[in-house]
Every structure is written in C-alpha cells, then in structure tokens.
Structure 1
Amino acid sequence: MNTALVIMAAGLGSRYEGGIKQITPVGPSGEIIIDYSVHDALKAGFNRIVFVIRKDIEQDFMEAIGHRMETVAAKQGAEICYAYQSLDAIDLPVPEGRTKPWGTGQAVLAAAKYLDMPYMVINADDYYGVDAFRTVHDFLLANHEDQAVAGFILKNTLSANGGVTRGIIEVNDQGFVTDIAETKDIRKDGDHATAAGGKTLSLDAHVSMNMWGFQPAYTRLLQEGFDAFLHSMENPLTDEFLLPIFTNKLIHEDKVKVKVLESHDRWFGITYKEDLPQVLRDFAALYQQGIYEPDLYSDLKKQ
C-alpha cells in the first residue's frame, strides 16, 4: 500500500530569530532536521513525500532542500511533491490586515490532491525519532479506519531554556484519545512539570508533537471544518485552523477515533536559539549509538 508523508514547512524561517531553523545544520556533515525526517520516513516505508511550502520561499527551498531530497527519494523509488499554502487560497475575501496563512489544518489541505492514500503529518523543524515513523507507518497499513497520533512522553520534549507549549493527551483504557488540551509555558520542576496558571503535570504525560496518522477520509472532514472555521472566526486577523484543536473537536463529536501510538523517542527541536548546542550533542549521540550511518542515507534499501 502507498503511504504519504506531509511535511509542513510553510512557516520556514518565521519563528527562529537569527536564522532559518529548518536549515540550521545539526548533523556531522551539515545535515538539517528535514534530512532525518525524510530518511526515517523512507526507511519506514513511506513512498510519497509532500512538502508544504510558500511560493515566496520556493526557490530558496529548492536550492537548500528540494533538489537534494528529489535525488534521495528517486533512489528509493519514492516521489517528492510540493504543495503551496497561501493566505488567499480561500473562497472568501482575505480580511484586511491579515498577514499569515490559516494554520496547520490549512497546510494539510494545501496538499489534498496528493492525499489519496493513508498519510502522516509532521512539522518541518522537529526531530521525532526512527521508531515513531515506523510505528505510525505500520498503524496506517494495518488500520484503515482510525486516525493516530504519536504520543511522546512529556519529559522527552522539554527545553532547558524556557517554557514550551504542548498538547496534553488524555487516553482511555483502549488507548484512544479522549482529549487534547493545549497547555502553555510548560517547564520541568524537579520530579514534575508546571504550566501556565500553576498547573502541575506529570513528566510521564503523553503529549502531541503534531505527528499524526490520517486516513484519506479525514481530509474531507478537514475541508468541512476549515469552511466552517472561515465563517465563524472570532478574530479574522489572528485566528488559526489548527490540527490538534480541530481533531480534538471531532473526537468530542464522536466523528473520529484517534489511537495514541506511544513513543519513547526523544524529541529534538530548536524552540530557542540556546537549544542548538544541546541538539547538536543529541544528534552526535545518535551517531555514536549507531542509529545513523556517517553517510546518512547509505542504509536505505529500495522498498
């Protein structure tokens, strides 16, 4: 069965002061985080990679990432596709003063024509780990009805340099999501974590890092939800149509079931500039452990 990976890269460069974090070298030969995502996805068996970008970064993206990824994918019999997220890709007039696109839900819809197969969605600037890709891929092959979310362990996703926002997942006895609560300013505090408002969290709580597994039918629900969102915004200048919030709404309406696929991989990301030295050490450790070869793509076998 064919499976696709959607990499949301339309926000490239917009959140990391001092550089474009998606092309910050983190590997020993200048590899960037996207290199590891593509490697891990191809190794897991995904055979279509869809980059969601903006038209205004297309040339820079192709030079820094796209052409190289096309060469890698071709050797594996996989394809690289491009989709474009834009502010004006809606049937309504763009609100005057609105400057940014409509969020992660719209990013996935930008790739809709490529999603006639089970697919996974990830952020461009997050490292998720080899096992997480394999687990989601295998779930999509075995389960043709339910959706999935990689459930990372909170303590494996925190920054030592400031608070982070995470989607705290509540899980029922059958392993399905019952709620995803966006929780801001989470920081490690001894043997637990604290969040905005003084909330206490277990370091072993499951969290969403925007690594989803979806069936093709989900895309129709997403389109319906986006259309409704556009007609019900409270603040047209800033409101966003976000995957976790919309999917949580569907869960509470009993329109989808989302399986939590627990991952004990350590998430890496550059939330703050000060995170970079630790991320470099983390990647160096993965090589020392034999997770990756010095020539990153040398261990891939044609599926």
Structure 2
Amino acid sequence: MVKTEYVFQETDRLPEGFTCPADREKPWGTAHAVLCCKDVVKEPFAVINADDYYGKTAFLHMADFLRNNSSDYCMVGFRLANTLTENGSVSRGVCEIENGELKSVTERTKIVDCKYTEDDGKSWTPLAPDTVVSMNLWGFMPDLFGYAENGFKDFLKEKINVPKSEYFLPSVVTKLIETGEKRVKVLIAEDKWYGVTYKEDKDMVSAALNKMADEGLYEGI
C-alpha cells in the first residue's frame, strides 16, 4: 500500500516575516506549490504535471535514479516530435545538454511542426525532431526545499505586491545549475507524451490511452 497525503497550496502560506496581500488571488507558482510539501516529503521525490501522460519508461527512469542517487537532481526529457499536437502551437522548454547534464532550458512559446517563431509567424526557425524538451518531470532530493525557500524569500522581497507574480520551479533549478550548487542529470524517455493542450486533442489522447489498456499496459480505463 502506498501512503498518500494531501497538501494544499494556500496563498497565505509564506515564510516567517511575510504577509500575503489582502487582494492576492493567484497562487504563488509551481515552486511554491512544491515548497508547501516540505513538512510531508522527507525522501527523494518526483514532481510532475498532474494532467499529463508521461509513459511507463519515464517513470522507470525516474524511479531508478531516485533509488540510486543521494545528491544530484534529474529531469526526464522527451523528444520534441513526441510532444507536438496537430491542433495548434505549443510552448516547450528546449534543453541545452552537456555530457548528459542539463545546462539550460530556453522557453519557446510558439512551436508548430518542429519549428518556432518569435515574431508572430513572420519568420520560423527549425528545430530537430529529436531535440530534447522539458515536460516538467523532475527528480529531487529533500534539500531542494531549503534552496526553494531561500529563493522564495528573495522573490517575495521584490514581487510580493505584484498581483500576478509567480515563483516557478524551473527558475529554482536554473539558478542552482548556474551557481554550480547542483547537477541535473538528463534522462531521456523515447515514449510519446500526451496532454490536452487544445480541446481537439481529447479524442486522440483518449484513443491512445484506450489502446494501451487494450494491449494490457494498463487495466481498463
């Protein structure tokens, strides 16, 4: 049996010395969401997007890494061509990798058919189909919480009164890489990633999941 606990991201859950503005409605971002788990999670852990399908291989890679590492972090990356939709543009974090380690993630906010634009479609730059992109499948050690909390304090000093400001998890990872405090191993999953970016994606994703169930990969869905 897997022990399960639920933790809620609340806007007034801030470090000592900070008070949430009365008009704050938007959550504080993905790094804050993870930080809310610090009193519950005491072991190596993974972070995912709850509404994405990553595939069996991705989780096998992640489990193996977390069982056999005691200090480094990891990210499971996917091939760009395995993350696209036929129904419109997507935003993807394009990874720079050196000797199997993550060096940077560059967000490309409008990708169509393995090419991206930064000028609303006036010009397009090609990307190789096998380019590794981040789909927010991260593996961490518990010491992440300390780094994230310190960064959150700095964030709040500057942006606590900005109504829609958000503290993002990739920004925490990027800073740790840039300062040399952490190494982030890149594990590559060759599976197709599934998500519903557009409502038109739903039928395709449903069909893919049902096919997996029919083939015995999962019990009936």
**Given the two structures, how large is their TM-score scaled by the length of structure 2?**
0.91
Q: How do residues 1-303 of structure 1 correspond to structure 2 at under 5 angstroms?
A: 77-90=1-14, 91-95=17-21, 97-172=23-98, 174-188=99-113, 192-197=114-119, 198-233=124-159, 236-294=162-220
**What is the CA distance between 1:285 and its match in structure 2?**
2.1
The CA deviation string for residues 114-147 of structure 1, in whole angstroms up to 9 with x for no partner, is 2210000111101111111111111011111100
Aligned length: 215
* Identity in percent: 38
Is the contact between residue 46 and residue 139 of structure 2 (CA under 8 Å) also seen in structure 1?
yes
- Whose helix proportion is higher, 1 or 2? 1
Gaps of 5+ in 2: none
Q: What SS does the aligned partner of 2:27 have?
A: coil
**What is the CA distance between 1:290 and its match in structure 2?**
2.6
**What is the CA distance between 1:155 and its match in structure 2?**
0.9
Q: What SS does the aligned partner of 2:159 have?
A: coil
Q: What SS does the aligned partner of 1:141 have?
A: helix
Query: Matches of 1:195 and 1:125 in 2, distance apart?
Result: 26
Q: What SS does the aligned partner of 2:164 have?
A: coil
Q: 1:95 to 1:162 in 2, by over 3 A?
A: farther
Is the contact between residue 108 and residue 116 of structure 2 (CA under 8 Å) also seen in structure 1?
no
Query: Matches of 1:88 and 1:140 in 2, distance apart?
Result: 31
Gaps of 5+ in 1: 1-76, 297-303
Query: Matches of 2:49 and 2:136 in 1, distance apart?
Result: 7
**What is the CA distance between 1:205 and its match in structure 2?**
0.9
What RMSD in Å do the two structures reach over aligned CA positions?
1.7
The CA deviation string for residues 169-209 of structure 1, in whole angstroms up to 9 with x for no partner, is 1100x200011112101111xxx322433333222111111
Is the contact between residue 186 and residue 196 of structure 1 (CA under 8 Å) also seen in structure 2?
no
Q: 1:230 to 1:83 in 2, by over 3 A?
A: same
Greater relative CO, 1 or 2 (CA 8 Å, sep 6+): 2
Q: What SS does the aligned partner of 1:216 have?
A: coil
Q: What SS does the aligned partner of 1:185 have?
A: strand
Amino acid at match of 1:161: N
**Given the two structures, how large is their TM-score scaled by the length of structure 1?**
0.67
Is the contact between residue 42 and residue 142 of structure 2 (CA under 8 Å) also seen in structure 1?
yes
